Structure 1
């Protein structure tokens, strides 16, 4: 899907994995692809990964595997976010670091796409 190539994070290899997760996730939404994508992004903004809506990031073991596979990209994205905010981003759900970073980066990736495509 061409729209997914508009991310600020497209230079990170993890973006391909994130795009695959998005494409699998939007199939349960009605409408054309763009409507499905927008609805998915809005739901994610409401509930976040903590809601369990992203099946790849429900279990800590799955997050750990994903984190280990993409550790450099995920930590670089987290560092960029913290530099942009000007302070460390709090792990407010007190989940393991690898789960926190997966959720943070995926949510940021999706928010970035949403803002580029729909705002």
Structure 2
């Protein structure tokens, strides 16, 4: 889907994995692909990964495996975000670091796409 290439994070290899997750996730939404994508992004902004809506990031073991596979990209995205806002990002749910970073980066990736495509 061409729209997913508009992310400011598309230079990171992890973006391909994020795009696959998005494409699998939007199939349960009604409408054309663009409408499905918008609905998915809005749901994610409302509930976040902590809601369990992203099956790849429900279990800590799955997050750990994903984190290890994409550690450099995920930590670079986290650092980039922290530099942009000028302070460390708090792990407010006190979850395991790798789960927190997976959730943070995926949510930021999706928010970035949403703002580029729909705002």
Normalising by the smaller structure, the TM-score range is over 0.9
2:29 counterpart of 1:29: yes
Instruction: For 1:88 and 1:117, locate their aligned partners in 2 and report how far apart those are by CA, in whole Å.
Output: 27
In structure 1, runs of 5+ residues without a counterpart are none
The CA RMSD measured in Å over matched residues stands at 0.2
CA deviations over 1:5-26 (Å, ceiling 9, x no partner): 0000000000000000000000
Map 1:1-119 onto structure 2 (within 5 A): 1-119=1-119
Instruction: For 1:22 and 1:40, locate their aligned partners in 2 and report how far apart those are by CA, in whole Å.
Output: 8
Instruction: For 1:4 and 1:28, locate their aligned partners in 2 and report how far apart those are by CA, in whole Å.
Output: 18
Instruction: For 1:85 and 1:65, locate their aligned partners in 2 and report how far apart those are by CA, in whole Å.
Output: 28
The Cα of 1:84 is off from its aligned counterpart by 0.3
Deviating above 4 A after TM superposition, structure 1's stretches of 4 or more consecutive aligned residues are: none
In structure 2, runs of 5+ residues without a counterpart are none
